[in-house]
Amino acid sequence: MQRVLRSLAPLLFALACAAPAEARPLQQVLNEGTLRVGVALSTPWTLRDADGELAGFEVDVARKLAEDMELEADIRVYEWDRIILALEAGEIDVIAAGLAVTLDRALHVNFSDPYAVGGVALATNLVNTSNVQELQDLNTGTRKIGAVEGSVATALAERILPRAELVVFENVELARNALVAGELDGFLEEEPVPTFLALENPAMVDVPIARPLLETPTAFAVAKGDPDFVFLLNAWIEARNADTWLPTTTNYWFRSLAWRNRVESR
């Protein structure tokens, strides 16, 4: 019997190593003193500053959440196509990565309440649209609306401004340049691109509608099976909205360019 067990030992060890890790429940996270947060590089959600250190909206959120939970923040960077898999495998405890709430993702993770809102917004050329009073004034054959090929914004433009001429670009940079040059009347794109474009070119570009035309709520994600973690995150979001920490931090990273001085090369 001992000989059989010895012969099986390497196999049993290999199987144990190959077995997927389980997500830590909230109480275990609290007991072990570290909150492992998954992020994905995408400016200004998460980026690296001039010294190579992590910065951005989600990094501030992760550190504040860990601080309020009296834990150390262990922030781990993943590619987009790996981050939910990492949560399911137990590598991280929570995702804070501008993750949009979708039904498909909800099959794999539990979402908190939204703590930020993104989406597709409209940037306009101020000179070309000086006489525009409302959105439907752009819905004519004489107006040109830009969007990036294959983007959600392209489908949105076709739906809400079907009479306007849709000009499709290969990338954001080409569309931005066309809008600033007056070759377009409007440009539909995911925030914060329109807002940053207006801040960079205040004499030429405006975002006339404050909220995105197509809103995308973003939330924390945790592994299935631990509702206490979701309840805690929801309480944190409510508290940090009430004391204005979340709105202030959101405005800093998404409605200003002040943060660029922190992250650009010195």
pLDDT in tens, 76-88: 999 999 999 999 9
Sorted by sequence, the CB contacts under 8 Å of residue 182 that are 6+ apart come out as 125, 127, 128, 204
**Would you kindly state where each structural domain of the chain is located, as residue ranges?**
20-118+216-263, 119-214
d(CA 109, CA 20): 16
Rounded to whole angstroms, the Cα distance separating 53 from 39 reads: 13
- Other C-beta atoms closer than 10 Å to the C-beta of 82 total 14
Coil/strand/helix, residue 189:
strand
**14 pLDDT above the threshold of 50:** no
77-81, 216-220, 261-265: which has the minimum mean pLDDT? 261-265
The fold adopted by the segment(s) 20-118+216-263 is D-Maltodextrin-Binding Protein; domain 2 (3.40.190)
For position 92, what pLDDT does the model report? 98
Residues whose CB is less than 8 angstroms from the CB of residue 104 and which lie 6 or more positions away in sequence, other chains included:
none
Say whether pLDDT at 11 is over 60.
Answer: no
Residue 16 clears pLDDT 90, i.e. is over it: no
Asked if the domains at 20-118+216-263 and 119-214 fall in one CATH topology, the answer is yes
Residue 249: what pLDDT? 98
Give residue 21's pLDDT band: very low, low, confident or very high (50, 70, 90): low
For the domain spanning 119-214, the CATH number is 3.40.190.10
**pLDDT at residue 96 is higher than 80:** yes
